[in-house]
Structure 1
Amino acid sequence: MRYRRLCRVRALAVVALLTAATVGIGTVAGSPVNAPATAEPGSGGMGQVVESHPVTIPSIPTGAAFSAWQLRYVSQNTQGMPWTTVATVLRPANRIEPPVLLAYDAIIDALAPQCFPSDQLQAGIPAQAATGVMEVDMIYLGRALERGWTVVVPDYLGPDGEFGAGFVEGRDTLDAIRAAENFPPAGLSGPATPTAIFGYSGGARGSEFAAELAPSYAPELNLRGVAAGGVTVDISSTARALDGGFSGVLAAAAALGIGRAYPELGIESYFPDAGFRNAVSSSCILQMETSYPFLRLGDHTVVPGGGGLLDVPAVAAVVSGLRAGGYGTPSAPLYIYQAMNDEDAPMADTDQLVGDYCARGVNVTYVKHPGVEHLTGNVAGSPAALDWLGQRLTAAGATTTCGMPGQALIA
C-alpha cells in the first residue's frame, strides 16, 4: 500500500510540473545556511535576520512570478538557548494589497540538513522525488503564490534537526514569521501583517504547536488562523501505530531527534548499532523507508532490564510532555483535518485533542475525510484548508464545529 501511495505522490508532482510553468526570480548567492550558529543573548530579539541572500527556486509548479530569498534568523532550541536557523521567503509579483503572510511548514520527518526545506526548495523536483520530501508541498506553495500571498518556509527543526521535539517546531515557526516581517524586501507590515500558518503531517506539528505557543511566545503577531492536517498528537501513540509498518523507521528518527533536543536522556545509548544511527541521521524520509521497511523499534534498541524505549521512565516523561494540547491554548481559529483511515496519526488522538480544545473555548473547525489514509488525506483535505485560511486572511469570521456530533464535519 505504501509503495502505491508514494507513486501517487510522485505522479501528482510530475503532473503539476508538466502542466504549469515555474518562474523563480533571483540568483543563488551561496549554499543554504544550515550550519549551527549561536546568537549571543542581547544581540537581537527572536526573529532577527542576521544574514540573507536571493535564491532561485526551480520547481514550484506555478505560472506566478516570484522573488525568493533565504534568511538566517535568530530563534531558540528546545532548551530555550538562542541559535540561528533558516527560512525561505517567497514574494509573488502579483502580491495582494495590503500584503498577507503564510508560514508554510513543509513536511520534513528527518534529521539531515539536506532534507530541510531550504535545501529541498533549491534542489527541485528530481531531488524531491528521490528523497520523498516536499513533492506535494510544492503544489500548495504554487497555489499560495497564485493567490498573491507572501510565503515563509522555515527549517522549523532548527540547525540540529530536533525532529519530534514540539517546542522547537513551534518556536522556530513563529520566529520565521517574525523574520519575514522584519525583512524589508518582503514588503510586509511588521507584526500588523495578517498571518496564517499551514502544515500537513510532519509540517502540522510545527503549525499546531505554533498555534498553542503563540499567545505566550509571540503575542504581537496578527495570527488570523492555523490549518493543520494529519497531526501527530501523541508521539508514543504514533510510534506504536507505525511499529512494524512501512514507515516504522520514522519512530527511530523521532527518537534520535528527541535525543538531540534532550541530551540528558542519552537516547543514542539505546541504539547500539552506530551504522544504523548514522544511516537514519543522514537520510530523508523515502530513503529511510526504503532502506528499513517494516522496521520494529525494538529490533534496533536495547533497554537495560528489558522493555521498550517508550517504557524508559525518563523517556516516557519527556514524550508525555510533547503531546499536542499541552503547550498552551490557541487564541487564533484552528482548522484541523484528518483522514479517517489514517494509519500514521490515529484519529482517536485527534478526536481527543479537538474535544479538549472545544472544552477550552478554542474556535475549531474539525473536518474528517472518509475513504483516504495519511498521504491521500493530504490531497483530499489541503486545498480546502488553504481556502479556509484565505477567508481568515481577509478577516472573515470563522465558525466552529464544536457542539456538532463528534465536534466534526464529514467532508
Structure 2
Amino acid sequence: MAFGVRMNFLRGAGFVGLIVGVVLGVAGAPPTAHAAPGPGSPLPSADPFYRYDAPLRHTAPGTVLRTRPMTFRTPRLSTPITGTQVLYRTTDQFGAGRATVATVLRPLVPGPTRLISYHMAYDALGSQCDPSYTLTGGYANGTATTEQGVIAGYLAAGYTVVVPDYEGEDLQWTIGRQSGYAALDGIRAAEAFLRLPRSTPVGLVGYSGGSIPTQWGAEIAPRYAPELNIIGAAAGGLPVDLAHNLPYIDGSAKWAGVIPALIVAYQRAYRLDTSAFLSEHGEQVTKAVSSECISQFASKYPGLTSAAMVDPPYTGLLDVPAVVRAINDNIMGSQGTPRTKMFLAVGHYNAIGDTLMITGDVIGLAHEYCSRGVDVTYHQLNGLTHQEAFLPFEPLAAEYLTERFAGIPTRSNCATLARGNSLAPLPVP
C-alpha cells in the first residue's frame, strides 16, 4: 500500500481496522525458522533469558546484555514478521542498575529508519502479560492482541518498532521514572543492536498504562538520555496524579480492583510494610491480585473502597504517609520538562473524567508544560470512557507522530488551554 493511501487511514478510525487486519490477514502464514519463544514457552518469571545476575553498576544504561530471535504472533495466529528480544541494562526508580527486555521489530519493506517506541498498556503484576511474552503469542489477552494490531500498522507504514517491558523484572506498575528509564534505554538498546546513529528520529507512544513510560520518558529524556533524537511523544489516558484517581474509583464497579493492585506495586517499589496499615480484607485482596493483570483484577472487586483496605486509625489509603509519599513521587510533570513536542489526550465521559482518568489532571499537565515552553497539543475525547477512547486515540497519535517525522508544524493549542487541576503534592499526613 502506498504511503499516501496509508495516510488516509491514519486520519480516521479506519486506521485501527487496517492495522488489526494486518495481523489477522496473515493467518496461515508459515512460521519462521525461529519460532521460539512462543506458545508453550515458560513465563518470563521462569525463563533464564530474563535473568542477569552479573553486577550492572559499571554497565552503561541501554547496553545490550543478550539477544534471541522471536516471531511476532498471537496465541492463534502466526505471522511472517520476525524480530529480536534484547535484554538490556536500565535503571530503577532509585538509580540502581536493572535488566529488562525489549522486542525490536523491523518493517517488512526496508527504507529510512524511523523508530517508534511503542508502550503497551500491559498493566501487569504477573509476568504473563509482559509485552515480550504476549508478542510471541504466549498469553491470550484481548488488549495485547489489539495493540499488536497497532504495532503491525506501524510496521506496515515502514517504521521500526521497539516495545519495552517497562515495568521491569519485578512488575512495578505505575512507577514513573523507572518506566521512563526503561523506555529510553530500550531505544538505546534498539539503536545499538541495529547499529543506528543517535540521530535516528524517534517517536514515543502509549495509552493508559502505556502513557506512563511515554510521558515520563519525554519528561526525563533531557536529563537522562539527551543524545536521543525524540521528535514527538503521544500519550493518552494518563494517570497524572493518583491521589486524584483513587477517590474517583473508590467503590467503582469497574475499576475498584486497581486500588489493591496499586498497593502491590508500591510494596514492590518502595518496600512498604503493608502490615502496618492494611486490614485483614486489604491483605487478602492485595495477595489475590499480586500475580494478575488488569483485565483480571480491575472489576474483580466491585464496590471495594479505600476505607475497607485499612485498619484504624486510618480511614483510607490517603491517610497512610508511606502511600502518600509513593504517590507524590509519581506525579507527572514533577521531575523535569520535555524537550520534545507532546500530544496529550484523554476521554471525558462524566463531570470528572473517563471513569478512570481525571480530565482536569491531563489539562493541568498540558497547561503546566505549556507554561514551561513545551509545544503541547491537547485533545479531549468527549463522551468516551477510558476503554472507548483507546480506539480513536491510536489513529490520532499515529497522525501526530507521522507529522512530526515529516517536519510538519504542530497544531498546538497552548494559547487556549484552561489551567486544569493543581498537581501539587498531597501533604503527607
Superposition TM-score tier, normalisation by shorter sequence: 0.7 to 0.9
Q: Among 293, 296, 306, which residue is 1:287 paired with? A: 296
CA positional deviation for 1:15: 7.1
Secondary structure class of the residue paired with 2:364: helix
CA positional deviation for 1:65: 4.6
The RMSD of aligned alpha carbons is 2.8
- 1:219-298 equivalences under 5 Å are 219-245=226-252, 246-263=254-271, 265-267=272-274, 269-271=276-278, 272=280, 274-298=283-307
Distance (Å, rounded) in 2 between the aligned partners of 1:333 and 1:369: 20
Equivalent residues of 1:164, 1:235 under 8 A apart: no
Please tell me whether residue 110 in structure 1 is matched to residue 110 in structure 2. no
Q: What letter is aligned with 1:20?
A: G
Moved more, 286-295 or 154-163: 286-295
Determine the structure 1 residue equivalent to 2:215. 208
Please tell me whether residue 68 in structure 1 is matched to residue 83 in structure 2. yes
Secondary structure class of the residue paired with 2:332: coil
CA positional deviation for 1:32: 6.0
Q: 1:60 to 1:88 in 2, by over 3 A?
A: farther
Q: How many residues align?
A: 388
Distance (Å, rounded) in 2 between the aligned partners of 1:12 and 1:345: 26
Q: 1:19 to 1:152 in 2, by over 3 A?
A: closer
Q: Among 173, 179, 182, which residue is 2:189 paired with? A: 179
Q: Among 310, 331, 344, which residue is 1:302 paired with? A: 310
Moved more, 164-173 or 135-144: 135-144
Please tell me whether residue 48 in structure 1 is matched to residue 58 in structure 2. no
Determine the structure 2 residue equivalent to 1:401. 413
Determine the structure 1 residue equivalent to 2:6. none
Q: 1:391 to 1:96 in 2, by over 3 A?
A: farther
Equivalent residues of 1:64, 1:142 under 8 A apart: no
Q: 1:155 to 1:270 in 2, by over 3 A?
A: farther
Q: What letter is aligned with 1:310?
A: L
Secondary structure class of the residue paired with 1:171: helix
Distance (Å, rounded) in 2 between the aligned partners of 1:137 and 1:407: 32
Secondary structure class of the residue paired with 2:94: coil
Q: 1:37 to 1:270 in 2, by over 3 A?
A: farther
- 1:10-409 equivalences under 5 Å are 16=21, 20-21=25-26, 25=32, 26-29=34-37, 31=42, 33-34=44-45, 35=50, 37-38=52-53, 40-59=55-74, 65-97=80-112, 99-123=113-137, 127-129=140-142, 133-183=143-193, 187-245=194-252, 246-263=254-271, 265-267=272-274, 269-271=276-278, 272=280, 274-299=283-308, 301-341=309-349, 342-404=354-416, 406=418
Distance (Å, rounded) in 1 between the aligned partners of 2:23 and 2:405: 30
Moved more, 159-168 or 394-403: 394-403
Distance (Å, rounded) in 2 between the aligned partners of 1:17 and 1:243: 39
Q: 1:198 to 1:39 in 2, by over 3 A?
A: farther
Q: Scaled by the length of structure 2, what TM-score is found?
A: 0.83
Secondary structure class of the residue paired with 1:55: strand
CA positional deviation for 1:38: 4.7
Identity of aligned residues (%): 32
Deviations 1:119-167 (A, max 9, x none): 211226x7113xxx41331221111111111111111011011112111
Q: 1:277 to 1:118 in 2, by over 3 A?
A: same
Q: 1:167 to 1:199 in 2, by over 3 A?
A: same
Give the gaps of 5 or more residues in structure 2: 1-15, 421-429
Moved more, 269-278 or 112-121: 269-278
Q: 1:43 to 1:366 in 2, by over 3 A?
A: same
Deviations 1:337-391 (A, max 9, x none): 1112111111011111111111111010111112211111111222111111112
Distance (Å, rounded) in 1 between the aligned partners of 2:23 and 2:176: 36
Distance (Å, rounded) in 2 between the aligned partners of 1:78 and 1:38: 19
Extract structure 1 runs of 4+ deviating beyond 4 A. 11-19, 22-25, 29-36, 60-65
Secondary structure class of the residue paired with 1:67: strand
Equivalent residues of 1:64, 1:94 under 8 A apart: no
Q: Scaled by the length of structure 1, what TM-score is found?
A: 0.87
Equivalent residues of 2:221, 2:338 under 8 A apart: yes
Equivalent residues of 2:76, 2:137 under 8 A apart: no
Distance (Å, rounded) in 2 between the aligned partners of 1:13 and 1:269: 51
Secondary structure class of the residue paired with 2:287: helix
Distance (Å, rounded) in 1 between the aligned partners of 2:155 and 2:77: 8
Give the gaps of 5 or more residues in structure 1: 1-10
CA positional deviation for 1:302: 2.3
Q: 1:61 to 1:193 in 2, by over 3 A?
A: farther
